[in-house]
Structures are given as structure tokens and as C-alpha cells.
Amino acid sequence: MVGRRVDRMPIRLVERRPEVSPDRLLSECVPPPRFAPVRFETYRPDPAEPSQADALAVLVERGRVLAEPRRQRSWWRRKPPAETLKPGIYLDGGFGVGKTHLLASLWHVSSGPKMYCTFVELTNLVGALGMRSAVDALSAYRLICIDEFELDDPGDTVLISRLLRQLVEAGVQLAATSNTLPDKLGEGRFQAIDFLREIQGLAGHFDVRRIDGPDYRHRGLPVAPEPWTDDAVERAAADRPDASCDHFVDLYRHLGELHPSKYGAFLDGVQAVGITDVRELTDENIALRLVVLADRMYDRDLPLLHSGISLDRLFPPEMLKGGYRKKYLRALSRLIALAHAGMDAPVR
């Protein structure tokens, strides 16, 4: 008699409510696995784009300085010794020109203590710890690298402006990447003079370096794969070890009950994510939560199995024309890449 195979029960993300300690939040502030092996030596500037080689040279020199042990301040000094470098370096440029590669390379060569996070992770960290605790914890770092720097929300503008001013005063070096020059951050979305003043104050902390060139990965969004059926997603999730499977609406409602700083722990032990009945989004709050989840999935290289609409229809045209356009396009690019990886999942 042939034994009948027993299907695994997929992980239900909606049943998870992780608790994350401040120590864990800080310990996870390192480059994601896909950027763990990068170094300055592995960056290949485009000969047709001299700004790439120029940026590399500037970062290598800054890395040489930061590789040296941090100088100790005398007990009577209230401010750090004068630096020959500005407190921060800011890499601006389009997608796929190697900004994150250079940022992670700087982190790797620098002496500690050091921290690497995305802008969204930084705002979530401050929200989880509180401003005073965040300043106390982050002031101990020699270098803080901030990827995908963006100010498209007035609350974040004030929050991060205040944080960075205090960190610079404490002698922390900053490095950031973005797709917008720092004196243009927030432009086209908020015109209030108070926020413009905050943005201008941030800009003065950075030595701006523009990196030009075409996206080495692709132009525009990749083509989204065809969605699976609900049954196919559920079967594939049952077949794969440590795969999750949740209904789209249940999942985004559950995300609304968790602080975004917990989304990484939310995915602990998950090797693939199954989502059934994906629908077009109509609520911007839900859309922004899914952007954070997409980032955490992408950091962990989690294949996506999904049914419902095609992923390129997830964000409606009005959202893709709004102030959060870059966030949504980044999320789409990442989710589509993960969905292509999910196409390799076995289906009975």
C-alpha cells in the first residue's frame, strides 16, 4: 500500500504578532544580503559616464578616512574636532547607476560602530524608539548610511531634520543616496515655507555628488508574470517548506495593526510568500504599508506566489502620478522581480 503524502500547512502571516526589541532593530541595520559582498573594487564605472568614476574616487577617499579609528574627543570639548569633510556625502542619480553599491561599499570599509538602513527604516526606527532614545542610541555611531533618502511626508521632514541635526552635532558622519537633490526634496508635493526651510537645512549637511547614466538593469518596469489561480498558490505554498499563504485583504488589514518596524520580524523563517486574490489598491495608507513589506521581502529574496490581478495593476494610475510615485514604482519593480522568482515554485 502506497502511503498518501501529507501536505504541509502553509505559514499564516496574519497569525503573527512579533515583538521586536530595540537591540534587534539596531542589530539589523546592516546592508541587505544582496549587497553583503559588494566593495569599491567590484564597482565598474561606465567609461561613457565620467561622473561614476568621480563618485567612486570621492567615496574611496572618504572610506580611507573612515577606515581609521575614530578620534577620541577631549572631555572638555562640547563639539567634535573640525573635519576636512562635510558631515555627509549625498549620491544623487537615477535608478541602477550603482548608488547603493557605493553606499554599501563605504559601510563595509568604514570602522565601527556603523549603521546602514533605508530612509523608511530610519523613520520607523525613530517611531519605535522615540526621538530621545533614537538620538542617544545613534549618536554612538561613527557612520550612518541612509539608502533611498526621501522626504515626501511633512511629518518625516521635521522628524529626520531634527534627528540629523542632532547626530551631526554629535560628530556622526552621514552618507545617503536618493533620486532627488537634497535642496529639491519634497518639491512638487509640499510648498509650505516651514517645510522648505527644514529641507534647506538638511541640504547644508551634505557634499552632493551626481551620478549619471542609464539604468544598467532595465529601462522602465519589467513585464509582470501572469497571476496564478488561488488553488495553484495554495498548492505551491503547501508544497514548499516554510512558505506562507494569506488572502490579500486579510494580509493588508493585519499589516495595519503592526508597526512597520516589525515587518522584518514578521517574515522570520519564511522562505516564500503566497498571496491570493491580489486587488488594485484604493487606499494610500494600505499602499504605503505594502511598499514597506515589499522592501523587507526584497531584502530577504523571498519568491512571491500570487493570484488575482497582474502586479503591474496593483497601484492605480492616480497613485503612480502622485507624490509617492517613486515609492510605488520601486515596490512594483521589486514585487515583479520576486514574482518571476516565484515562477520556479513547483505546482502539483
Q: What are 114-165's pLDDT values in tens digits?
A: 999 998 889 989 988 999 999 999 999 999 999 988 767 777 878 888 899 9
| pLDDT of 6 strictly over 80 | no
Contact 196, 170 (CB under 8 A): no
| Cell representation of residue 330 | 520601486
Q: Of all residues in the chain, what percent carry a pLDDT higher than 70?
A: 83
Question: Phi/psi of residue 88, each to 5°?
Answer: -135, 155
**Secondary structure (3-state) at 8:** coil
Calculate mean pLDDT across residues 260-268: 92
Give the pLDDT of residue 120: 85
Calculate mean pLDDT across residues 265-290: 96
| pLDDT of 69 strictly over 50 | yes
Cα dihedral: 95, 320, 313, 246 (round 10)? 80
Angle, helix 50-67 to helix 99-109, in steps of 10 degrees: 20
The Cα–Cα gap between 117 and 168 comes to 17
How many Cα neighbours within 13 Å face the side chain of 176? 29
- Helix/strand/coil percent split, the chain, to 5: 45, 15, 40
In terms of pLDDT, which residue wins out, 81 or 258?
258
Amino acid, res. 262: K
For 212-237, what is each residue's pLDDT tens digit?
876 555 445 578 999 999 999 999 99
Lowest mean pLDDT among 18-27, 49-58, 74-83, 191-200: 74-83
The Cα–Cα gap between 160 and 121 comes to 12
Query: Strand locations in the chain, DSSP E?
Result: 88-93, 114-118, 143-147, 173-178, 206-211, 243-247, 272-278, 304-308
Lowest mean pLDDT among 190-204, 227-241, 290-304: 190-204
| Cell representation of residue 108 | 563595509
Contact 230, 307 (CB under 8 A): yes
Place of cell 531584502: 299
In terms of pLDDT, which residue wins out, 141 or 3?
141
User: In sequence order, what are the beta bridge partners of 211?
Assistant: 93
| pLDDT of 348 strictly over 60 | no
